[in-house]
Structure 1
């Protein structure tokens, strides 16, 4: 893929998933020397555990504030899972500086009729995070079908990495950014001129199927696949980094005007 030296000046902003923090991206960042990476801690996570948002509007305002505080005015944005949904919501508000969007195993949003059931589902998990020992809840969390690619050792590693979370903080973020509270952004994806790259893992049946459906619906996305499950960047950081490098170094004319 052709490159333009000026493209490398664009900062790359990275958003992690629920229960993670900015450090999740470090193995990928280590494989991207020369690229100005900014891996943020979402509200309720990492160094921002005390921070609360009430919904997607406040989460977007937080992200805009973070970009401003870091002096980031023109940028590339990538997000995984929850971070991807927040990135997608941010992009749908047409921020002037966003040049391109990359989403990893992300959900575009549910039809309105399906949202109440999802809010109820997420409320059940939120109550567990608030009221039960974190290790017990995490053990069940990583047995969900979306993490089916993890074996027993993989689940144990994920659980150990996530024990630094605070149950109440996770619960607050889960309630605020429930998929049931997210608008269906597939129509926006069908009409946007912003370059959107969508990565799905072929072993993550749910999210791979969602990405394929978006393509069939005529959404304006560049759908790429990797062999793997839900958390591709964590399990294959060097492969994911190569893909990111190609994306960051895409010709300038392919970026948003």
Structure 2
């Protein structure tokens, strides 16, 4: 599996593990690509059918002139899942990828069994939101160069040697217009959900159980206070940078394995067993049609 023509977009996607195993979807963030999930995918392939796409505009996937936003990315993944016929997935996302998998769960509920959200790019408070226009102006003017400087600050002192350089390089390889469009889609486009009140609204529409991990204690406290589907939980990992899945590979892999095993066994009480959706939920989900979703403005909006 490499470049798949889904009609709406051509996505690069790799897979590991048995085709008949429970499906696990690993989604990267802003200015990244699927390579960051390589150690996790290999370790999890003994038990799961692991799908690792490059989002539109990123990595080896097609780069449209327009529409490089999380909502479009979520719809791309729905088309990918349908094309592959893998059934429901446990959807794992990092940063902007969290927004993508949450929108996938909201807009296409039959495709997602549960969500793992790693350092989400949502829940920005007022002071953070105030910084967004200036940042967006920089990304529109300087593109990936400005974003790479931003990414460089997202690591802890414990980050493995070379990780920072790898992400700077990947960001610099992302087309400038994709960097700006994705950021605008996360923050400023109509229906964006990055600001805290809007984040709370869209999180209430997610019907699947979720496991959320934050590297900021106040953000974790905030999300614990939002309505949660039964079976959900929020964790806080201190002394860890934004790319927690790469700074803590073994811990993240164990987290994903344990959660996904519970999800596929039906041990999470909020899990949806099939594609059924109530009329009320369908109406609420369709109201998200213009959503572009938004990022956490604490300097971790990948």
- TM-score bucket (shorter structure): 0.7 to 0.9
Instruction: Provide TM-score, normalisation by structure 2.
Output: 0.68
Identify the structure with the greater helix proportion: 1
Question: 1:3 maps to what in 2?
Answer: none
Per the alignment, residue 149 of structure 2 pairs with 140
State the Cα distance separating 1:107 from its structure 2 match. Answer: 3.0
Residue 40 (structure 1) aligns with:
53
Aligned to 1:101, what secondary structure does the other structure show? Answer: strand
1:1-257 matches, within 5 Å, as 9-34=21-46, 35-51=48-64, 52-53=66-67, 55-109=69-123, 118-129=132-143, 136-137=145-146, 139-144=148-153, 146-147=154-155, 149=157, 154-175=163-184, 177-181=185-189, 182-183=192-193, 184-190=198-204, 192-201=206-215, 205=216, 208-220=217-229, 221-227=232-238, 228-250=240-262, 251-254=265-268, 255-257=271-273
Aligned length: 238
Q: Which runs of 5+ in 1 are unaligned?
A: 1-7
Superposed CA offset, 1:141-184 (max 9, x none) = 2344x445577965334324444333333333333x22233222
SS in 1 for 2:121: coil
| Alignment RMSD (CA, Å) | 3.0
1:88 CA displacement: 1.3
The alignment's TM-score, normalised by the length of structure 1, stands at: 0.78
Distance 1:190 1:69, change over 3 A: closer
Which of 146-155 and 235-244 deviates more?
Answer: 146-155
SS of the residue corresponding to residue 45 of structure 1 reads: coil
Q: 1:59 to 1:153 in 2, by over 3 A?
A: closer
